[in-house]
Structure formats: structure tokens, C-alpha cells
Amino acid sequence: MKTIKHIINNQETTGHSTNTQAVYNPATGEQTAELVLGNAQDINDAVENSKQAFKTWSTTPPAKRAKVMFNMRQLLIDNADLVAETISKEHGKTHDDALGEVTRALEVVEYACGIPDKLKGDFSSDVGPNIDTHSTRQALGVVAGITPFNFPSMVPLWMIPMALACGNTFILKPSERDPSSANLIHDLFAKAGLPAGVLNVVHGGKETVDAILDHKDIHAVSFVGSTPIAEYVYTRGCAAGKRVQALGGAKNHMIIMPDADLDQAADALMGAGFGSAGERCMAISMAVPVGQETADKLIEKLIPMINKMKIGPYTQKGMEMGPVITKEAQTRIEGLITQGESEGAKVVVDGRNHKVDGHGLGYENGYWVGATLLDYVTPDMSVYKQEIFGPVLSVLRADTFEQAVDLINEHEYGNGTAIFTRDGDAAREFASKIQVGMVGINVPIPVPVAYHSFGGWKRSIFGAHGIYGPEAVHFYTKLKTITTRWPTGIRAGAQFNFPTLD
């Protein structure tokens, strides 16, 4: 059985802790590896190494840093199947879904290839007598990322390329549930020409996270995960004087208007609700049809589509959904379905106790939850209030467009939302009034492309900056403004007032 180790200065190491954790294949429930867990000393070793690497990397011309990103882009393309397989083995998502993750990660690498243009400052001549002013953006130093299990390659690659392209060095603390992708990303960057120490990987749990948040020489932390942990990371990191962007949970609604193309809406809900077994912060977990007739027709279309879903391991071709990440997640999701039923929701399609043919390979022991459809959900139910993070699509019927909008605006989360309609006026009003950070109009999962930025509102994000895109340049750099006057041979004498144009 393999041991997954930290990588510091391009060298694998077991570090200073003797604590380990098992890594499992969610499709079989079998242990596949043992993960070394780090401690504060391991983080300190990584920081010291990163500080040394920063001295050279931060002064490397942006065009040369971009060259590494161009090389990484090609390596991701060439190794897409390998990266996808690594994801699927430990996360459980289908191969096609994992390939989609690699594609979205690749977009951010491509955006980072243009870093020389993005770091250009501003210049103003003659702001005063013989005085010029220019601004520049400079790297922060050592920065860190704490990433979730649901996108073990994409989310790290939403952070790392922009942080490195801006001139920082980076310490990655990936999820301990599917850690192999992080080490593979490191190895690909090394092949791309990234100098040793610019990217380090330290595995671990809360002890490692706290060490990152408390270390005085880590200047910024980027986090993606649940809202309670995001708030913890933000509060503790800010108290230690760091920049923090902490992206949290979601409860994403999709309004279906009476004039919507219901076939298109049903297709969208299938992919957005059940893709990656619903383990996405941008998953649509709440369908909000407007009007009883709309709701009835939508349910009628969804039932046969859900019942035909192909659920199984990534090793079998044509599967549309894999297992959830852990046995604990399986138990929690099924418990919430049961709780929703007890609170009055109607279980239209029941994914509890879902069985998968083992094929002699142990798949019957995997962490399977079938696609589930709940109807007549109300805002006071647990399945509405909580982020289920599983393959559960709930239907909450609204009488009017205004009621549907108010429902979304009153929820504590504001990550993503969508509306399906043919009415341009309704779509425009929705986009204007909805209190959510990412909005789709006939688009079910409105994840922005890499040259825009990703980020929700309300308790879906803590901090002032979204992730990747233009926001990343501001997050991973600090502004410096230089005002210059060269001697002209004319002595003006001492001035005691604040400088002006006069």
C-alpha cells in the first residue's frame, strides 16, 4: 500500500509527525493509501523553504514566469486522462466529470499565461512641477491554499497559477480525503520548469490548517470549503494579520418560469443537480417552479430521467454519477432525506439504500446514494436550510415570480442561482434584483470563465476578493505607488504644506 507524503523543496518527506490517515476508494470502500499528516513544524519547514525560493522567484521577469504556465498548460493537456483517473480513484466521480474538472482548471492556467499584461501599472506624468507618478503591483511573499475534496485538481489550480504568476511562492494544504491529485499537480509544475520550493505541498487536518493561519510569514490564505470552516479560517487568519479569501457553502436555486422550455430546464436540472453526485458548491439543489402547473409538468419530466440514470464506478463506461466521498457523507445525506420526509417533504424518487452490482470487484460496498427527488419542500425544513452536498434535488413550489425571488434573497447563502425563461424582462429583473454573486439566465451552473472571477455573496464568501481572474491579481499582489522628481537646477526651498499642483 502506498504512502502519500508531503513535498517540500521538490522532495517527498514524511515530516515531523507520526500521525497518518487512511485514504479510500469511494466506489469500493477499500483503503488504497496511507496519508502522512503534517504538524506545525512541517508548515514551518515549508515556509522557510518558500521564503528562500521567493527571493529568486519574485524577481524572475513575469514573461519567464508565464513560460512556466505555458509549459504547464501543455502538460495538463497531455496528461488529462492521468489527472482525471487520479481524481476518480479517490473522489469517485466519473471519468468524463473528472475530465471536465481538468478542463476548467486548464482555463485558469491559460489566463495566468498572460500575466505580463495583467501586472502592468499606471503612469501619470507631470502630476506636479517636474513630478511623475507611477504604480506597480508586487508579490506578497509566501501564500497558502486550503482546498476541498470535491475538486481536488480544479480548486488548487484556481489558486496556484495566479499566485505563482504574480511572483509569490505557494504552500498547498489539500483535502486529506483525496490527496494524490495535489502531489500530481506539484510534479507537473516541476516538469514545467517551476524552481524547487516555489510550490510546496503539506498534507494534514486541523493542526496543519491552524499552523497555516497562525504562521507570521504566510501573508495570504485562500480557502474553499463549508461555511462554518470558511468563517473560522477567515476570522483566525485575519486576526493573524493575513489577507484571507474564504469561499463557503451554498444553497443554489433555479427558478423555472411558466414560459420556460421545460425540456431544457429538466435537462439542466439533471446535470446541475446530480453531476458529481451533487458534491459541488455550484450544484442546483433547489428547483423553484412558478405555478402549480409548471411544477407538476416539471416533476413529470424529471421522474423518468432520474430513474434512467446510470450510477456506478468510473471504471465502467457510460456512467453518469459515481459514489459520494465517504461512508459518513452517505449516512448524513440519507439521514437528511429521511428527516425531510418526516418534516413533510414528498420523496418522489428515493436514492436511499441504492445498490450497485459489485461485478466481483467490491463495488457493492461503495458509498452509493441514488439520485433523489423531493417535492413540496418548504423553507422551514432541514433539507432547505442545510447544504446537503449530495445527489438530492428538492422542489419548492412558488406561486409568483416575486415570491421566488424573495425566497432566494432571504436565504443565508448567495453563491449561485439561475432562471429559465423566454421572457427577457423577467430575466433582466431577476439579474438586477437577486442577491447572489453568480447568476445564470437559461444557464444552470453559472461558473464564470477564467477571465472573469468566481465568488458568491452573503455567507457563501468571507473576504473582499473572488477567486481567479482579475480578482486574483489584486488578492495576490500589493499596490505600490511611486512619486518621482528629478533635480532641475531650480531650488524651490523647503515646503511645509501638503504638496499640490500649484
Each residue's pLDDT tens digit, 335-348: 999 999 999 999 99
pLDDT confidence of residue 490: 61
* Residue 280 sits in the same domain as residue 197: no
Does 32 fall in a domain?
A: yes
* Residue 95 sits in the same domain as residue 188: yes
Identify the three-state secondary structure at position 278: helix
* Residue 405 sits in the same domain as residue 465: no
User: Would you place residue 496 in the very low, low, confident or very high pLDDT band (cuts 50, 70, 90)?
Assistant: confident
Q: What is the CATH number of the domain that holds 229?
A: 3.40.605.10
* Residue 409 sits in the same domain as residue 474: no
Does 138 fall in a domain?
A: yes
Does 491 fall in a domain?
A: no
Give the structural domain span for 354.
Answer: 252-441
* Residue 233 sits in the same domain as residue 261: no
Does 435 fall in a domain?
A: yes
Number of domains present in the structure of the chain: 2
Of 51-65, 184-198, 348-362, which range is least confident?
348-362
* Residue 219 sits in the same domain as residue 329: no
* Residue 233 sits in the same domain as residue 259: no
Does 494 fall in a domain?
A: no
| Alpha carbons 223 and 308: distance in angstroms, whole number | 37
Q: What are 426-445's pLDDT values in tens digits?
A: 999 999 999 999 999 999 99
Copy the grid coordinates of residue 4: 502519500
pLDDT confidence of residue 82: 98
Does 125 fall in a domain?
A: yes
User: Would you place residue 358 in the very low, low, confident or very high pLDDT band (cuts 50, 70, 90)?
Assistant: confident
Q: What is the mean pLDDT of residues 202-217?
A: 98
- In the set 113, 166, 238, 281, the catalytic residue is 281
Q: What are 218-255's pLDDT values in tens digits?
A: 999 999 999 999 999 999 999 999 999 999 999 999 99
pLDDT confidence of residue 1: 87
| Alpha carbons 470 and 468: distance in angstroms, whole number | 7
pLDDT confidence of residue 157: 98
Angle of helix 154-165 relative to helix 62-78, nearest 10 degrees, comes to 160
Q: What is the mean pLDDT of residues 292-306?
A: 98
Q: Got the DSSP string for 180-240?
A: HHHHHHHHHHHHTTPPTTSEEE---SHHHHHHHHH-TTEEEEEEES-HHHHHHHHHHHHHT
CB 224 within 8 A of CB 249: no
Q: What is the reported pTM?
A: 0.95
User: Would you place residue 492 in the very low, low, confident or very high pLDDT band (cuts 50, 70, 90)?
Assistant: low
Does 499 fall in a domain?
A: no
Does 449 fall in a domain?
A: no
Q: What are 104-137's pLDDT values in tens digits?
A: 999 999 999 999 999 999 999 999 988 999 999 9
* Residue 16 sits in the same domain as residue 148: yes
pLDDT confidence of residue 403: 98
**Nearest CA-CA partner of 157 in 172, 142, 169, 138:** 172
pLDDT confidence of residue 497: 75
Q: What is the mean pLDDT of the chain?
A: 96
User: Would you place residue 487 in the very low, low, confident or very high pLDDT band (cuts 50, 70, 90)?
Assistant: confident
Is there a catalytic annotation at residue 281?
A: yes
| Alpha carbons 449 and 103: distance in angstroms, whole number | 11
* Residue 304 sits in the same domain as residue 424: yes
Residue 501 pLDDT more than 60? no
Q: What is the CATH number of the domain that holds 375?
A: 3.40.309.10
pLDDT confidence of residue 499: 64
E runs forming strands in 416-475: 416-420, 438-441, 457-458, 461-462
pLDDT confidence of residue 488: 77
* Residue 222 sits in the same domain as residue 109: yes
* Residue 244 sits in the same domain as residue 180: yes
* Residue 256 sits in the same domain as residue 193: no
**Nearest CA-CA partner of 169 in 49, 347, 342, 249:** 49
